[in-house]
Amino acid sequence: MVEIRRYSPVSFKASAKRSEVRDNWKVVLEYEGEGKGPHLVDLSHMTRLDVQDANVGAITPFGVTIPEVPGESVLKDNVLINRMNRIQASVFCLDGHKPEIPKESAYTETTEVGMCLAIIGKEVFSILEKLSSLDFTDPARKAPFLFQGPMSHVPCQIITLSKDGAKSGVLFTASRGYGKDMVHAIMDAGAEFGLKPAGEEKFSSWIASL
C-alpha cells in the first residue's frame, strides 16, 4: 500500500529533530544542530498564490491591500503580498497552514510552482552577494520589497523582509525544478558563515519578531 505524501522540492543534509505531517507534507519544525544562524528554512509547503487582473489593485487577498508600486511588498498578519507588475501580484501565506483559497478566477494557486526558501540571520546579505548581483542593501529600498531577478543564474522572486542586523532575512521562490541545485549553491555560499538548515519554527519566531 503506497502512502500518499507530498514531497518538497528541496531536502537538507540534516536530521529532523521534530516534524509533523500537515496536508500530507512532512513539515520539519526543528533540525538537529541548527546553531545560532544564519539559517536556511524550507517553506515550500506554504501556500502561495498568483493574483492577476486588469484591476489587480482593487483585489484584497485575505483582506490585505496589494501595494500600488511594482517592487513593493506588504507583510500583514502573516500574509505577504508582492506587487509584480501592472496586473500581477504574488501572495505568500506564511502561517504554515493552508488557507481557504479565494474562488475568484484572478487567483491561481502556485504553491507547487516553486520551491520557497528563507535565509535569515545577520550574514544574509554576505551570502546573497555570492549568488546575486541584486542590490539588497540599497538604502533607497525599504523592507519589505521585491526583486524579480537572478540568484545563482536562476530567475527568482526575492523578497527582502528585513535589513535590520541580526533580524535580516529574505524569502525567495524559484522554479521547483531548481530546488536541489539551488540548495546546494546556497549552502556552499553560506558555508563560510556557518549557514545551517533550520525548521519552520525558526522562521515562525523570526517573522513574528519583525
Partner 1 sequence: MMTRFNQLPTLRIDPTKKVIFNYKGKSCAGSEGDTVATALYANGVRVFARSLKYHRPRGLYSLDGECSNTCMEVDGIPNVRTENTLAKQGMEVKEQNVKGSAENDMMAFIDKLDWMMPAGFYYRTMHKPASMWPVAMKQIRKAAGLGVMSPDHVTPGKFDEIFPRTDVVVIGGGPAGMQAALAAADKGVRVIIMESRPWLGGFFDYRAAEYSKGKPLYSRARELAEKVEAHPGIRVLKHTSMVGAYSNNLVTGFQIGGEGDSFTERYVEIRANAVVVAVGCIERPLIFDNNERPGVMQVACAHRLARTYGILAGEKALFSVGHDLGLEAAIDLYDLGMKIACVADIREDGQNPELLLELAKRNIPVLKGWVVTKAHGSKQVKKATIATIDGTITRDFNCNVIVASAGFTPITGPLTLAGAKLRYDSHTNFFIPETLPEKTHIAGRMTGLEDSMAIEASGTLAGIKAAMDSLACTCCGSESASEGDSEGDSKEKSSSSSCCEACDDAALKAAEEALKALPGPSRGTKLVTAPVKGRKSFICFDEDTTIKNIKQAIEMGFDVPELIKRFTSAGTGPGQGGIPGHNLPLFVAKYEALSGVPAPVRPTTVRPPLVPTLIATYAGTNHIMMKRTPMDEMQRSDGGIFRKIGVWERARYFSDDFECKAEIENVRNNVGMLDGSTLGKFRIHGPDALKALQRVYTSDMSKIKPGRVKYSAMCNDDGCVIDDGVVIKIAENDYYFTTSTGRAGQTVEWVRYHTRYDGWDFNMVNLTDSMGVINLSGPNARKVLQKITDEDVSNEAFPFSAYKEFMVKDTIPVKAMRLGFVGELSYEFHVPSSYMVSLWNMLKEAGKEFGIKNFGVEAQNVLRMEKCHIILGQESEQRTNLLDLGLGFLWDRKKTDAKTVGAVALAQAEKDQTRFRLVGFKMENNGRAPKDGSLIVDDKVRGYICTARDSFSLNEAVGMALVESHMAKIGTRLEIFEDECGDQRIYGKVVPMPFYDPDGSRMKS
Q: Parallel, antiparallel, or unpaired for β 196-198 and 39-42?
A: parallel
Part in contact with partner 1 (CB under 8 A); list of ranges 13-21, 60-68, 148-156, 201-209 = 148-156
Of the candidate residues 30, 34, 50, 201, the single one contacting partner 1 (CB under 8 A):
50
- Residue where the block lists cell 500537515: 22
Q: Name which of 81, 102, 79, 92 is nearest 45 in CA terms.
A: 92
Q: Parallel, antiparallel, or unpaired for β 48-52 and 73-76?
A: unpaired
C-beta of 191 vs 210, nearer to partner 1: 191
C-beta of 181 vs 201, nearer to partner 1: 181
Residue 132 CA to residue 118 CA, distance in Å, equals 15
Residue 124 cell numbers, joined: 544574509
176 binds partner 1 (CB under 8 A): yes
**Residue 166: CB minimum distance to partner 1, A:** 16
Of the candidate residues 2, 69, 103, 208, the single one contacting partner 1 (CB under 8 A):
2
153 binds partner 1 (CB under 8 A): yes
Integer CA distances (angstroms), 9 to 58, 178, 183, in order:
33, 8, 10
**Residue 7: CB minimum distance to partner 1, A:** 5
Contacts to partner 1 from residues 66-105, by CB under 8 A: 87-88, 105
178 binds partner 1 (CB under 8 A): yes
**Residue 73: CB minimum distance to partner 1, A:** 19
C-beta of 133 vs 208, nearer to partner 1: 133
60 binds partner 1 (CB under 8 A): no
**Residue 201: CB minimum distance to partner 1, A:** 21
C-beta of 26 vs 167, nearer to partner 1: 26
Interface contacts to partner 1, rule CB under 8 A? 2-9, 24-25, 50, 52-54, 87-88, 105-106, 108, 110-114, 129-140, 152-154, 175-182, 184-185, 188-189, 191-192
